[in-house]
Structure 1
Amino acid sequence: MPLGTLDRNPPPFFRQGASALSKLMVFSALALFLMVADTRFALTQPLRMAVATALYPVQWLVMRPVLWSASAGAYFESLQAAQEAAQQKLGLLSQRANQVEQLMLENSRLRKLLVLRERFAATGQAAQVLYDAADPYTRKVVIDKGLLSGVSAGSPVLDESGVLGQVTRVYPLVSEVTLVTDRDQAIPVLNARTGARAVAFGDPGAHAGALELRFMAANADVQAGDLLTTSGVDGVYPPGLPVARVEKVERRVESAFARIYCTPVALAAGAAHVMVLQPISSQIPALPEPEAAPEPGKKGKSK
Structure 2
Amino acid sequence: MINDFHFSHEFLGCDSLKVSVVNDAILDGWLNYGCLVAPKSKLADYREWLSLQDAKSYQKWITAFSHNLMRDMTGDYQPISELTQLNECFDYIDSHNILTLLINQGEMNTLNLQDGRQERNASEVVNINNFSDSQCFRESKNLENKSIAAGENIEDVWNERFASIADKTKAITIIDRYFSANMEEDIGKGRTTSLEKFIDFLSTKGKRYSITIYSVGYDKDSDRHNAIINYIDITLSKKISYRAAISHIEINSCDDGLFQSLAHDRFIQFDRFTIELGLGMSIFRSYPLNTCTFSFYRADKNPIFATTLASLSKRRKWCYGIKED
TM range (shorter): under 0.3
Q: TM-score, normalised by structure 2?
A: 0.22
TM-score norm. by structure 1 comes to 0.23
Q: Which has the higher contact order (CA 8 A, sep 6+)?
A: 2
Compare CA radii of gyration and give the structure with the larger one. 1
Question: Whose helix fraction is larger, Structure 1's or Structure 2's?
Answer: 2
